[in-house]
Chain A
Amino acid sequence: MRIAILALQGAFAEHQQMLRRLQVDSFLIRNADDWNQRKDGLIIPGGESTAMLKIMKDEGLFAPIQTALRGGLPVFGTCAGLIMLDHEHLGTMDIEAKRNAYGRQLGSFFTIHDFKGIGDIPMTFIRAPYIERAGPKVEILSRLDGKIIAAKQENQLVCAFHPELSDDTRVHEWFVQICQSRQAEG
């Protein structure tokens, strides 16, 4: 089991730390050469989605990532990572994200809230998005004040908040399980 973490900009080190705690091997992706290594899953971290998208395209990573995700490679996107999977970006999930949906930094907040299949978990929202529209194939995992803040479509898992900033490893554990089942299939 080896998970790739997109490390173009943002909080990639925090995800790597979470995987280390779960004793799962990981490596960082900065360019197309890094991408060519064997991997069982991909994490797209939080950061600035405009910066991330720009570097992803310039480094020639956009098309190969899109192809791999369409081929079923498990992916976990948090905050900017959620945005990257929506219609306007990689487009591998049938969702539309609303960027900066809670406003500027003064609108950032912390809460403990229900996540389907796990229960109450700590959620840190930093200039966060939410999902404005989700297609029929998308399973909604959490809603906050009616807005979708976590969802899953096949092997793709997204959160508007940052599980990597908490001590709670359960969402990451779930993603590792998704990667494991895919590995077992084949």
Chain B
Amino acid sequence: MEDRTELNRNLAQMLKGGVIMDVTTPEQARIAEAAGACAVMALERIPADIRAAGGVSRMSDPKMIKGIQAAVTIPVMAKCRIGHFAEAQILEAIEIDYIDESEVLSPADDIYHIDKRKFKVPFVCGAKDLGEALRRINEGATMIRTKGEPGTGDVIQAVRHMRMMQSEMRRLVSMNDDELYEAAKQLRVPYELVLYVHENGKLPVVNFAAGGVATPADAALMMQLGAEGVFVGSGIFKSGNPEKRAQAIVKAVTNYDNPKVLAELSEDLGEAMVGINENEIALLMAERGK
């Protein structure tokens, strides 16, 4: 009777309209919770620093994650490498609330993603387009986010990925029934998932924006483009006034369609993270794991 997939999709539904913040210490986790984050992502280094440091990037120390679990009452997520099911098993053993099988870390497998249906804990995965999103859902992901380009503070990739998913979904909705089989073949996903999108005009799981969100306006942009919530990584704790910026982004996600409120929120936030333009970076994390 108990359906873990359904329960795990349900948890993502409770996170909707919220902001999930990257944190590296219990102190940052408490700041995020007090600012109104609906969950935190525990990791040793935020994406901007992973990018700067180079080298192989792995799952965080479980002790560090436990420290953050002890510091807050909101859900705690953590990242494992793409395809690294042993890291995922470890995260499940410490009762993480959500695992992010993430392209931010160095991939452990260049062919296979984790068989997420084998786990009781839920997974969120990144996607650049509808095919990637549905393939991850087929593997058992119960939440999707855009890949964007982590650690850049440049929202262009997240915009591109969200627009791509939305336009591909609109295309499926407009198709004749007999065209869906070919669409499933092209997307390399089961027909049933294509049929779901055709009938409902949305993914069967919650879809957040991630990768490059740095300001309240960025968050509002992503919500207006169809995101159901926002992940903010480097954007908060790489900025001049993390506390204030965190609160402003939380409110921007609630009031994403109210420019007057957004204008107030955007005042006096201090310096945003410096950021890197997409043409200035050597490593495109979004190209990891298709």
Contact = CB atoms under 8 A, between A and B. Distances in A.
A13 interface: yes
A63 interface: no
A30 B16 CA distance: 14
Contact of B17 (A47, A100, A110, A124): A47
Given A48-B18, A48-B74, A110-B3, A54 B34 contact: yes
Contacts of B38: 9-10, 47-48, 51
Chain A interface size, as a band, is 35 or more
A132 to B, nearest CB: 15
Interface in B192-243: none
Contacts of B10: 108, 124, 126, 162, 165
B36 interface: yes
Interface in B252-281: 253-255, 258, 261
A58 interface: yes
A176 interface: no
B14 interface: yes
Nearest to B7: A108
Main secondary structure of the interface of A (DSSP, over half): loop
B7 A126 contact: yes
B127 to A, nearest CB: 21
Interface string A24-43: 00000011000000000000
Given A10-B16, A105-B98, 6 more contacts: A10-B14, A31-B261, A105-B95, A112-B1, A162-B10, A165-B13
10 contacts: A7-B17, A10-B17, A50-B36, A80-B14, A100-B73, A105-B96, A108-B8, A108-B10, A110-B1, A124-B10
Top 7 nearest A-B pairs by Cβ distance? A54-B36, A48-B38, A105-B97, A9-B17, A51-B36, A9-B18, A108-B7
